[in-house]
Chains A and B, each alone.
Chain A
Amino acid sequence: QSALTQPPSASGSPGQSVTISCTGTSSDIGAYNYVSWYHQHPGKAPKLLIYEVSKRPSGVPDRFSGSKSGNTASLTVSGLQAEDEADYHCSSYAGRNAVSNILFGGGTRLTVL
C-alpha cells in the first residue's frame, strides 16, 4: 500500500478537463508545500510536471495545473490531448524523521477516450 492515495484510474475525452487527487496526512501533504507531480508513458522514465504544489517547470504546458487543500493535492489536466494518456504520480516531502523522507502515490492511469 502506497503512502499517498491516488485513484487507480481516470479518464476524459479530448478537450475535456480531468482532475486527479492525491491524499496524504497532516505529516506530509498537509505539513509542507513540497508536492510534485510526474507523468510517465509506458516504458519511459517519469517526467516532472508540477513542483512546490503549483509551479510548472519550463516547457510544461499551462494545461497542467496543481493545487492543494489540507491533506489533499490535486492535478488538473485541461484541454485533454491524446498524448496526455499516461500514468500520473504524486509525491510529497514527509520530513527528515519520517519512515520515508519522500512519499509517492500508487499512480493514476489516465485514459483519453
Chain B
Amino acid sequence: EVQLVESGGGLVKPGESLRLSCAASGFSFSSYSMNWVRQAPGKGLEWVASISGSSTYIWYADSVKGRFTISRDNAKNSLYLQMSSLRVEDTAVYYCARGSSSAYSDYWGQGALVTVSS
C-alpha cells in the first residue's frame, strides 16, 4: 500500500524558515517524481514544486522560486521542502504527492499545516 506521511509543519513568523518532510512507503520511491502541492485555507490547490526520481530535474512555481528548495533522499525514501523567507501568504496545508510523467498526482499524503503569522 502506497503511503505518504508529511511532518514538520507548524507556526512560524514572517521571514523565518521551516523544513517539511515526507516519508514514502509501499512503492519504489526512486522510480517516481514527487510533488509538493499546497492549499491555503478555504482556497483551491496550488502546485509548489516537483522533483524527478533521480533529482536531475527540479521545477518551482514562480511564487516560491528562490525561497523554497525541494529535495529527496532515495536511500531514506524521503522528500523534503525547505522553506525560507516565509510570508503570510505561504500559510497553507502542504501536501506531498506522488507524481507521474503526465503531470498528475496519484497518491497524496494527509498534509502538513504551515501557518505564517506574527
Contact = CB atoms under 8 A, between A and B. Distances in A.
A102 B50 contact: yes
A32 B59 CA distance: 18
A103 B104 contact: no
B42 to A, nearest CB: 10
Quick one: which of A32, A46, A57 has the most chain B CB within 10 A? Answer: A46
A48 B105 contact: yes
A107 B105 contact: no
Interface in A34-88: 34, 36, 38, 44-48, 51-52, 57
B47 A100 contact: yes
Nearest to B95: A45
Classify chain A: how many residues form its interface, as a range: 20 to 34
B108 A46 contact: yes
Contacts of B59: 96, 101
Interface in B84-118: 95, 100, 102-111
Given A34-B102, A48-B106, A52-B104, A101 B45 contact: no
Quick one: which of A44, A48, A102 has the most chain B CB within 10 A? Answer: A102
23 contacts: A32-B103, A34-B103, A36-B105, A46-B37, A46-B45, A47-B108, A48-B104, A48-B105, A48-B106, A51-B102, A51-B104, A52-B104, A89-B45, A96-B59, A100-B46, A102-B35, A103-B47, A104-B46, A104-B47, A105-B44, A106-B43, A107-B43, A107-B45
Interface of A: 2, 32, 34, 36, 38, 44-48, 51-52, 57, 89, 91-93, 96, 99-107
